[in-house]
C-alpha cells in the first residue's frame, strides 16, 4: 500500500501501482470523467500510468493549466495523424501545446493553406469519432532509432540521438499512428473534441535559419464548444481592435523602415500620450512622489556597478566617448541610485518616492518586434522608493493603492501574483524572508486575492505583478512592485537613522503603466480606438450642413477652443450624412451639427458616440457638460437601442 497526499493535505491509502484515473474514480465518477492528467510530486504525469511509492497527487481537469496542456498536446497528435493519413509522404517534426492551443511542424512540399483546413478537420473529426486509445511504450535508444528510421522519420531520429544517454525514450500509439513523445496524453482520441485549425506559417527546424523551413499548422482545442466559439469570437474581435491597424487609421503612430522598432508618434498620438503623462503626474503628486530625470547615456563603470554590463550587455546599445565605453540606458534604476547619492539622507527624509518618465532603449530581435507591444525604445514610468525596513509594508500598500486607482479609471479588472525567491538569487535568507513576508502582509492587509508564483521573483528580490484584463478578456502584465536589497548595497546607499548611525535603505522598483507606448497599444485595443472623452485626441467635430453655415460653425469651434476642448471642423462640400459617418469612423466622442435652426437659436445639434442623437443644446450648456465629463474623467457607456 502507498500513501497519497492530496492538495488539501488529506492522505489516503491505495494499492501500489494504482493510476490517477482509479484514484479519481474512488473519489467520484464525475471527477474520473473530468480528469485529464495528474501532477505527481509537482510534475505533470500521465493519468493512465501506474503510481509507485508515497507521493503527492493533484488530479488535473481542463480548468488546470496542466489539464489544458495535456488536452491540447493530444490534439497535436490527432492533427499529425490526420495529415499523415491524407499525405503519407509528409515528415513529422514536433508538435507541442502552447498558450491557447498547439501546433505541429511538417516537412513537405505541399503548400498548406486555409483552403486545406476543411479537409484536415474532416479527418480530425473521424479520428476523434474512432475513439482510439493512446498507449504509451518505451524502447532502448538503438531500437527507438531503428523504429523511426523504418518509418522514414528523420527529424524524430535526430531528436532521439540528441536525448541524454539515460533518457527514457517513449512513444504514444493511437491506432495506426505512432509518435515519439514524453507525454502525458488523454486516454483516447475521443476525449479531445472541438479542435479548430487556425493558421499556417513557416518555421525553421529547431528555430535556426540554417535549417530547413518547415510548414507549421497552428490550432486550438477546447473541452466545450461554447468556450471554443467564445475564443474564436475573441480572436475576431482582437483583429478589429489590432492597435497597429487602428493606430494607422486614427493617425496615432507610425513605424518606419528607417527605424525598425522605434515608434513615431503623430500629432493625435502625442495628444493621447501627453494626456496619459499629465494624469501620471497628477496621480503621483497626490501620492507623494517627486519627479526626476536622468541621462539617457551613462558610462560603463556605472553599468558594471549595477550588474547590467555583465548580465544585459547584449541587449544594450553602446558607444565610445573620449575613449570611454558608454551605454544607452535600458533601465532607469542606476540613474536613480546616483540621484539618491547627491546628498546625505536622514531617516526623516524617508520614504523618498522618486518617479521618472525615462526613455530607455533595449535591443530586441527584429522577429520579436510587434507594433507598440515590443519596441526598441519606450518610456518607462519608473519609480524608486527608498525606505526603512519598518516602512516596507505601508509603502507596498501605497503603491498597490495607486495602481488600483489607475487601472480602475480605465475600466481594467486585474489579478495579482506574488513571485518568490528564484534559485539564482542574491542576498541573505533573512533579507528574503523579510521582503517576502512584507509583500504578502501588504496584500493580506489590502484584502487582495493573489496567487503565489514560486521561484519567479527577480534575482534581487520578490515581486508583485499586476495582470490586467481588457475588454475582451485578454490579460496583460503591466504593473509590478519589486523589493530590492541588492542595488542599495552595490551603490552603498546610506541614511542617518534616529540613533545617529548610518544605515542601508531598502528600495522598491515600481512601474504602473509599465511602458507608456505599450500601455497606449493596450488602450487602443481595449477601447477599440473609441477612447473616453478626456483621452480622445479629438473630442468634438463641428459639422456645418452647408457652406452657408460655415461662419457659425467657425464661431462654435472658436468657443470650444476657448474652453480648452479639442475640436476640429469639417468644411468640405460633402453631404452631412457622409460627414457624420466619417466622424463616427474616426471614433470622435461628439459631433455638433449646425444649420439654419442652430444658427438662429444659438444652439448645436448634438450627436454622440454613446447615445446617437442627443437633440439640440445651448452651446454654453454643451460646453459646461463636456468640461465636467473631461474634468471628472468620466467613461460614458454606449446606450443600447432597447435602453434609449
pLDDT in tens, 129-157: 999 999 999 999 999 999 999 999 999 99
Count of H-run helices and E-run strands, the chain: 20, 34
SS3 366: helix
C-alpha cell read off for 286: 497626490
Q: Residue 28 has which C-alpha cell?
A: 467520484
The cell numbers describing 327, all together, are 551605454
In three-state secondary structure terms, 227 is helix
The per-residue pLDDT for 643 is 54
Angle between helices 267-286 and 392-409 (to 10 degrees): 140
d(CA 510, CA 383): 5
| Cα–Cα distance, 83 to 104 (Å, whole number) | 10
Q: Are strands 345-346 and 352-361 parallel, antiparallel or unpaired?
A: unpaired
Out of 9-18, 360-369, 372-381, 422-431, which region has the weakest mean confidence (pLDDT)? Answer: 422-431
Q: Are 330 and 375 in contact (CB under 8 A)?
A: no
Mean pLDDT of 17-30: 96
**Burial class of residue 233 in the structure, from the number of CB atoms within 10 Å of its CB (0-12 exposed, 13-18 middle, 19+ buried):** exposed
SS3 253: strand
Instruction: Report the chain's mean pLDDT, rounded to a whole number.
Output: 93
* pLDDT score, position 456: 85
- C-alpha closest to that of 371 among 240, 252, 518: 518
pLDDT of the residue at 341: 95
Q: Binning pLDDT at 50, 70 and 90, where does residue 642 land?
A: low
**Preceding omega of 184 cis (within 30 degrees of 0):** yes
pLDDT tens track for 400-409: 999 999 999 9
What count of other Cβ atoms lies within 10 Å of the Cβ of residue 300? 16
Is residue 424 over pLDDT 80? no
Q: Could you report the per-residue pLDDT of 365-414, keeping only the tens digit for each?
A: 888 889 999 999 999 999 999 999 899 989 999 999 999 999 999 999 99
In contact, 411 and 377? CB cutoff 8 Å = no
- Are the C-beta atoms of residues 40 and 46 closer than 8 Å to each other? no
Is it the case that residue 474 has pLDDT exceeding 90?
no
**What cell does 90 get?**
509528409
Q: Write the pLDDT tens digit of every residue in 478-513.
A: 899 998 888 898 899 999 999 999 999 999 999 999
For residue 266, the 8-state DSSP code is: P
**If residue 489 lies in a helix (H) or strand (E), which one and from where to where?**
helix 486-490
Quote the pTM value: 0.81
Residue 625 has pLDDT above 70, yes or no: yes
**Helix axis angle, 65-86 relative to 117-130, nearest 10°?**
110
Please check whether residue 196 is in contact with residue 236, taking contact to mean a CB–CB distance below 8 angstroms: no
36, pLDDT greater than 90 = yes
Mean pLDDT value across residues 547-569: 96
pLDDT at 43 over 70: yes
Grid cell in block for residue 256: 518606419
In 53-134 the beta strands, taken as DSSP E runs, fall at 55-60, 91-92, 97-98, 101-107
Distance CA 479, CA 403 (A): 7
Residue count of the chain, please give it: 644
Ranges 134-143, 443-452, 561-570: which has the least confidence: 443-452
DSSP run (H or E) holding 285: helix 267-286
Could you give the CA distance from residue 491 to residue 302 in angstroms, rounded to a whole number?
9
Res 641 pLDDT > 60: no
Name residue, grid cell 548580465: 311
Distance CA 607, CA 321 (A): 58
Place of cell 460653425: 553
Which sequence positions are flagged as catalytic?
Answer: 333, 362, 380, 382, 384, 463, 509
Residue with cell 442627443: 614
% the chain with pLDDT above 90:
82
The pLDDT assigned to 553 comes to 96
Percentage of residues in the chain with pLDDT exceeding 70? Answer: 99
Whether the pLDDT of residue 17 is over 60: the answer is yes
Run of H or E including 455: none
Residue 177 has pLDDT above 90, yes or no: yes
Q: Beta-strand (E) ranges in 292-395?
A: 297-299, 318-321, 324-328, 345-346, 352-361, 377-387
- 3-state SS class at 371: coil
The alpha carbon of 7 is separated from its chain's Cα centroid by a whole number of angstroms, namely 29
Q: What is the DSSP string of 150-196?
A: HTT-HHHHHHHHTS-TT---EEEEETTEEEE------SBGGG---EE
Q: Angle 369-374-379 (CA atoms, 0-180°, nearest 5)? A: 135
Question: Which stretch of DSSP H or E encloses residue 589?
Answer: none
Q: What separation in angstroms does the CA of 165 have from each of 149, 158, 162?
A: 19, 14, 9
Work out the average pLDDT over 304-319.
Answer: 88
CA distance 514 to 390: 27
Q: Which residues contact 340 (CB under 8 A, 6 or more apart)?
A: 352, 354, 384, 386, 491, 493, 505
Amino acid at each position: 500500500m502507498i500513501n497519497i497526499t492530496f492538495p488539501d493535505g488529506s492522505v489516503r491509502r491505495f494499492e501500489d501501482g494504482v493510476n490517477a484515473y482509479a484514484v479519481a474514480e474512488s473519489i467520484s465518477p464525475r471527477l474520473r470523467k473530468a480528469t485529464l492528467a495528474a501532477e505527481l510530486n509537482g510534475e505533470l504525469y500521465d493519468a493512465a500510468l501506474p503510481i509507485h511509492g508515497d507521493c503527492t497527487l493533484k488530479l488535473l481537469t481542463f480548468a488546470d493549466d496542466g489539464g489544458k496542456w495535456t488536452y491540447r498536446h493530444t490534439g497535436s497528435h490527432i492533427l499529425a495523424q490526420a495529415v499523415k493519413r491524407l499525405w503519407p509522404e509528409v515528415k513529422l517534426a514536433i508538435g507541442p501545446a502552447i498558450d491557447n492551443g498547439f501546433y505541429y511542424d511538417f516537412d513537405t512540399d505541399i503548400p498548406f493553406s486555409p483552403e486545406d483546413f476543411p479537409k484536415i478537420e474532416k479527418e480530425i473529426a473521424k479520428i476523434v469519432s474512432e475513439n482510439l486509445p493512446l498507449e504509451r511504450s518505451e524502447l532502448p535508444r538503438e531500437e527507438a532509432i531503428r523504429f523511426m528510421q523504418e518509418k522514414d522519420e528523420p527529424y524524430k531520429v535526430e531528436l532521439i540521438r540528441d536525448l541524454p544517454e539515460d533518457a527514457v525514450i517513449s512513444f504514444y500509439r493511437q491506432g495506426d499512428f505512432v509518435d515519439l513523445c514524453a507525454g502525458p496524453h488523454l486516454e483516447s482520441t475521443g476525449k479531445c473534441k472541438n479542435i479548430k485549425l487556425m493558421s499556417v506559417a513557416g518555421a525553421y527546424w529547431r528555430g535556426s535559419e540554417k535549417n530547413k523551413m518547415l510548414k507549421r499548422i497552428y490550432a486550438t482545442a477546447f473541452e466545450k464548444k461554447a468556450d471554443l466559439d467564445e475564443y474564436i469570437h475573441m480572436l475576431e474581435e482582437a483583429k478589429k481592435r489590432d492597435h497597429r491597424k487602428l493606430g494607422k487609421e486614427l493617425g496615432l503612430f507610425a513605424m518606419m523602415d528607417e527605424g525598425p522598432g522605434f515608434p513615431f508618434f503623430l500629432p493625435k498620438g502625442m495628444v493621447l500620450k501627453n494626456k496619459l503623462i499629465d494624469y501620471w503626474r497628477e496621480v503621483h503628486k497626490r501620492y507623494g512622489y517627486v519627479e526626476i530625470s536622468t541621462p539617457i547615456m551613462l558610462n560603463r563603470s556605472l553599468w558594471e556597478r549595477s550588474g547590467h554590463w555583465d548580465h544585459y550587455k547584449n541587449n544594450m546599445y553602446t558607444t565610445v566617448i573620449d575613449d570611454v565605453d558608454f551605454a544607452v540606458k535600458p533601465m532607469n534604476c542606476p540613474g536613480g541610485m546616483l540621484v539618491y547619492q547627491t546628498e546625505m539622507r536622514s531617516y526623516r527624509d524617508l520614504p523618498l518616492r522618486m518617479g521618472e518618465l525615462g526613455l530607455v532603449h533595449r535591443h530586441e530581435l527584429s522577429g520579436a518586434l510587434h507594433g507598440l507591444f515590443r519596441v526598441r525604445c519606450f518610456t518607462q514610468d519608473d519609480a524608486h522608493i527608498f525606505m526603512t525596513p519598518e516602512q516596507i509594508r505601508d509603502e507596498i500598500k501605497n503603491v498597490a493603492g495607486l495602481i488600483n486607482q489607475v487601472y480602475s479609471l480605465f475600466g481594467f479588472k486585474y489579478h495579482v501574483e506574488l513571485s518568490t525567491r528564484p534559485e539564482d538569487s542574491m542576498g541573505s535568507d533573512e533579507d528574503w524572508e523579510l521582503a517576502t513576508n512584507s509583500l504578502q502582509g501588504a496584500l493580506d492587509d489590502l484584502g487582495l486575492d493573489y496567487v503565489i508564483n514560486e521561484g519567479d521573483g527577480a534575482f534581487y528580490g520578490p515581486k508583485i505583478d499586476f495582470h490586467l484584463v481588457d475588454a475582451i478578456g485578454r490579460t496583460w502584465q503591466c504593473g509590478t512592485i519589486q523589493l530590492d536589497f541588492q542595488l542599495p548595497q552595490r551603490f552603498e546607499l546610506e541614511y542617518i537613522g534616529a540613533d545617529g548611525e548610518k544605515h542601508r535603505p531598502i528600495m522598491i522598483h515600481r512601474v504602473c503603466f509599465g511602458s507608456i507606448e505599450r500601455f497606449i497599444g493596450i488602450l487602443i485595443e481595449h477601447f477599440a480606438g473609441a477612447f473616453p472623452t478626456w483621452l480622445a485626441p479629438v473630442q468634438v467635430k463641428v459639422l456645418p450642413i452647408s457652406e452657408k453655415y460655415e461662419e457659425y460653425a467657425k464661431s462654435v469651434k472658436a468657443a470650444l477652443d476657448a474652453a480648452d476642448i479639442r475640436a476640429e471642423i469639417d468644411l468640405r462640400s460633402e453631404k452631412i450624412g457622409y460627414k457624420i459617418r466619417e466622424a463616427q469612423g474616426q471614433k470622435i466622442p461628439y459631433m455638433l451639427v449646425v444649420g439654419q435652426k442652430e444658427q438662429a437659436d444659438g444652439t448645436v445639434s448634438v450627436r454622440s458616440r454613446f447615445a446617437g442623437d442627443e437633440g439640440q443644446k445651448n452651446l454654453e450648456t454643451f460646453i459646461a457638460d463636456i468640461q465636467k465629463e473631461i474634468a471628472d474623467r468620466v467613461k460614458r457607456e454606449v446606450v443600447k437601442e432597447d435602453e434609449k
